[in-house]
Amino acid sequence: MNNRHDGKSIKLSWLQNYINGVGMAGPPTTLHMFRAYVLYLTGFRIMPNYSGNLVHLSFLQLLDKSPEEVGQYSWGSTCLATLYRSLCDGAIYGTSDMPECTILLQVWAWSRMSCLAPVPRIPPQAHTQLPLANM
């Protein structure tokens, strides 16, 4: 297997190194950097797969547009649909894991059920600018 991809997916670690400029011959263009970053976010947070370290190359065709057009996509409903799908997959008998998009469910639970939310270690007045779940 190639160290960057397997023909259908690309490693998130390679994308992260690309974004950070590790091993690059020259500086990437802004458009390439934008596409790499959105592809990384897609595979890491918005629509993660069960491997946890790959993003499917089919998402590249979604990024073959201008950044303005990509910004018009409904990323929130995509994340929510992925959460619903993973909850359905996780409800099947014998399933032992789910993709990492459950962060959305976790934040929702923290905002609705304060007994589940983490307690800040610093006083509330000291972190007025931080987006904490329990404020």
Domains of the chain by residue range: 9-120
- Model pTM score: 0.66
Q: How many C-beta atoms lie closer than 10 Å to residue 37's C-beta?
A: 15
Residue 94 near residue 49 (C-beta atoms within 8 A): no
Residue 37 half-sphere exposure, CB side, CA atoms within 13 Å?
A: 13
Q: Cβ distance 99 to 55 under 8 Å?
A: no
Sign of CA dihedral 20, 75, 55, 91: positive
Angstrom distance (rounded) from CA 79 to CA 77 = 5
Q: Euclidean distance between the first and final Cα of the chain, in Å?
A: 47
**103 or 86: which leads in pLDDT:** 86
Q: What is the pLDDT of residue 100?
A: 62
- Report the run of H or E that residue 69 belongs to, with start and end: helix 67-71
Residue 71 amino acid letter: G
Stronger pLDDT, 12 or 28, i.e. the higher one: 12
Is residue 14 pLDDT above 80, yes or no? yes
Tens of pLDDT, residue by residue over 72-98, are 988 888 888 888 888 888 788 887 777
Note the pLDDT tens digit of each residue in 15-61.
888 888 776 777 778 888 888 888 988 888 788 777 778 888 888 88
Give the residue-averaged pLDDT of 102-120: 79
